A and B are shown apart, each in its own frame.
Chain A
């Protein structure tokens, strides 16, 4: 009996967080802690000659100053985690001061002398592609080159009715987590305990042990409360290595907390792609060929290349295009390294293909929805030209529902336009790819008082996943949700796990918890058989109880747990192993592909700002465990996507100086710019998991930008091919 799954249950996580009782890394105090401050490059590119720390060491409170620290970490520059020979971007660590308080630590940074010779910098990714000036000395700018090709796009384009070329730019954004990054490393002989603002403690343990494994037996990583991450707190950072090394070297607790200015300079930026597309469309609306040159602006390290792979392979989206080539170039620039940001490659792909759809429709004078329908995949499963298997769902069915809503928006659009207002309605259809694996873990443990603790390997940080998983476990065990506590985020709680990223946690950890709950039920039956002197075969588990239908006898889960614990100091006289626990690991053999549609009615004001008059989204994400959690994800994602479409942009000047170095400059929106969002969902495209959810963490950041851009384009009657739109140059 399902009491909880499918219900709008309030988040169990909230009362603590919204009453100021959260415990973020910087709230944790440990006696004897040293504070780490990092001297950073103020120039985008230079040869580093000498770092003189002698004056810094004289400052009262300063315990140590570290320079030239160098570790070999995959895809990171040679000058990692600190510059020792070459400065590669503004914000790159050069030296680290350890002091007894933060103020003296930052004071000491002023006393470090850095001798360097400025080198020419490479800022524009298209310039970088020419490979004339080098972003990193002695290395080609082209860090990555790959071609994804299917069919014969050149031929198809040349024989098509209408050929179009466009340059589509998706600029860099700063992930803007409310809590900047931070780490506290506590030294004990043989064991380091790390408290971190991270999306994955288990992964963090593994990558730290790769480097420090010879210096310490184990590293326990505990995820403190995390004030947002959006992908940016998944992969290792220079400061993590510096803090851990400092704590091992000084044998003391070391804390590093980024200031906002540091965070905005060093937390990996997102997006940063340029697509030069050529495509051919026939008069009947069929899109026959695409040729895309994709340049990804990697910054000063090459760990972001996979984002271009995702964008390339997802470029066909939900459309039947067969003849397509994507030439991927990953180029170095003298900027902050690039990595994932909510959506990670799929928003870029979707923005490009949805722009292509709208532009193709404009070019041949067809309704853009009709054109999409002409090309949409009508049967699933479907193998796309690059081999991705779109699992299931009925795209056309959702499309037609969305179309009905959109025609309503168009009616209002024409009424308002007839009043002379600059209003436009924009539509997008997206296909997502999520549940990035490989698997997730969960352990369900019934305690003597009947309370159930669920440990998950995923590490949510604001999504409300614990509430969703409590719903799943409470339903499966037939118990009150208030008797279920979900815990996570500590490598000592469960052997292995991955974390929270790629819209995966509720599906993968949720199903692991479901399977673990089933193991607990089996065990409950076996214990009950002993306690009730019955045969296991005679019993069944139903609604929180083990019952013997023949005798009518029953024992609740709580009673079984209590009986297992009854006599301290006694003996165990049953033929079944004590304990009511189950641990399970769950993975899927394919990624999942949810889909949906977003639409906006937008007015461009006389002053160049936008008003969103109406916004509607509809998604098919498989089984929805908690519609309120899902809706929250959609609302946050729409506003984040709206910011990306309208005002968020990391801007460097031509020389590589960061012009958006604080929230006074960076265009992050506020609650005042929010608008009403109407959301609905379908549950047709179910995943192959026992609880067939898919995931909604990123869908809205994928669907929103193309819808908002199309609406604005129509309102202004000017083609827009850039994110953000920079309206001040368009109106």
Chain B
């Protein structure tokens, strides 16, 4: 399809972008464009302007620190995949296809908040924080930021500038995604972070995407694993518990029943893969 008529503004800096977006509430920020452009072409959205923020270089960085890693919102999936960030880099490798990974940005993903996006499973498991800037700057937890599907905690004129994740040194991790075919949306995605001491699990975090309106943590399953000796039995039980956190809807990618079933399969796979690291 062909997009409707719209204005196009190139923002030179963050302030210019947020000022413009505040004045034009129906304008949309353009980063990687991998959700925005298809919606424009299908005429699902009809913004007055696209505000191209891709030249704002101070949103384009990844800076690892000893306790936390700061990720500029314009970082592409490809850049994140190469940045050696526990869990998040692996998650980035599984997003869509190479073309999308070269263009798409993490800020774009969490501002769009598609319920089947990949990052949210990991960001929720990691207790990520989101830095948002408009007239003022604020930092919110990703959990609070992701209010509902397609509904980020962003006021008119605000942009995500940064995502901050704890360093998770010495953690094992895995992100497991089930897709019908390469590049498809996830049927379910499970992110796992684990800290072990010998044969026992000291800490565990499990995030789920695509099976709820927003990503969730499977806390009871986490508690089942925490401070236990690793055994096939406990992994099986915890994986079954993860299933309780999935409330999928039936669609062309499978019935709700199937999606629940494979949530357990993918949870188990993610735990086992994490333990292998």
Using a CB–CB cutoff of 8 Å, the interface residues on chain A facing chain B are 102-103, 106-107, 110, 259, 261, 606-609, 647, 651, 659-660, 662, 664-665, 667-673, 728-729, 731
Contacts and interface: CB of A to CB of B under 8 A. Distances in A.
Contacts of B252: 651, 659-660, 665, 667
Interface stretch (B16-24, B47-55, B117-125, B254-262): B254-262
Given A106-B1, A261-B1, A672 B266 contact: no
Contact of A670 (B1, B5, B38, B182): B182
Nearest to A651: B252
A673 B181 CA distance: 7
Contacts of A659: 252
B77 to A, nearest CB: 17
Contacts of A608: 254, 258, 261-262
Given A261-B42, A606-B265, A667 B1 contact: no
A107 B4 contact: yes
Contacts, number: 59
A607 B1 contact: no
Interface in B235-277: 252-255, 258-259, 261-262, 265-266
Which 3 A-B residue pairings sit nearest by Cβ, starting from the closest?
Answer: A672-B182, A728-B254, A728-B258
A107 B181 contact: no
Contact of A609 (B38, B42, B180): B180
A607 B264 CA distance: 9
B40 to A, nearest CB: 12
Contacts of A651: 252
A261 B2 CA distance: 11
Contacts of B265: 606-607
B185 A664 contact: yes
A647 B180 contact: yes
B104 to A, nearest CB: 15
Contacts of B36: none
A670 B254 CA distance: 19
Interface in B136-185: 178, 180-185
Given A608-B254, A670-B182, 12 more contacts: A103-B3, A106-B1, A107-B4, A110-B4, A606-B265, A607-B262, A607-B266, A608-B258, A609-B178, A728-B258, A729-B255, A729-B258
A107 B4 CA distance: 6
Interface string B185-226: 100000000000000000000000000000000000000000
15 contacts: A103-B2, A106-B2, A107-B5, A110-B4, A608-B261, A608-B262, A647-B181, A664-B38, A664-B184, A670-B183, A672-B181, A672-B183, A728-B255, A729-B258, A731-B258
Interface string B41-68: 0110000000000000000000000000
A606 B262 CA distance: 8
Interface residues of B, number: 25
| Chain B interface, DSSP helix/strand/loop, else mixed | loop
A667 B5 CA distance: 32
A660 B178 CA distance: 20
Nearest to B179: A609
Contacts of B184: 664
A354 B43 CA distance: 46
A665 B184 CA distance: 9
A459 B259 CA distance: 46
Interface string B1-39: 111110000000000000000000000000000000010
Contact of A102 (B2, B255, B261): B2
A608 B183 CA distance: 17
Contacts of B261: 608, 731
Nearest to A647: B180
A667 B255 CA distance: 15
B5 A669 contact: no
B171 to A, nearest CB: 25
A729 B181 CA distance: 17
Nearest to A666: B252
A499 to B, nearest CB: 30
A107 B38 CA distance: 16
A106 B3 CA distance: 8
B180 A667 contact: yes
B41 to A, nearest CB: 8
Contacts of A669: 181
A673 B258 contact: no
Contacts of A107: 4-5
A106 B4 CA distance: 8
A672 B180 CA distance: 11
A569 to B, nearest CB: 57
Contacts of B1: 106, 259, 261
A97 B261 CA distance: 49
A106 to B, nearest CB: 4
A204 B255 CA distance: 44
A107 B182 CA distance: 34
Given A728-B254, A728-B255, A670 B266 contact: no
Contacts of A607: 178, 262, 265-266
A660 B38 CA distance: 16
A659 B251 CA distance: 9
B117 to A, nearest CB: 14
Nearest to B188: A607
A110 to B, nearest CB: 7
Contacts of A668: 181
Contacts of A729: 255, 258
B181 A667 contact: yes
B1 to A, nearest CB: 5
A675 to B, nearest CB: 13
A518 B264 CA distance: 69
A83 B247 CA distance: 43
Nearest to B4: A107
Contacts of A671: 182
Nearest to A37: B2
B118 to A, nearest CB: 15
A651 B42 CA distance: 19
Central interface residue in A103, A609, A728, by most chain B CB within 10 Å: A728
A484 to B, nearest CB: 39
Contacts of A662: 42
A660 B42 CA distance: 14
Contacts of A728: 253-255, 258-259
Nearest to A671: B182
A187 B115 CA distance: 50
A669 B181 CA distance: 6
Contacts of B185: 664
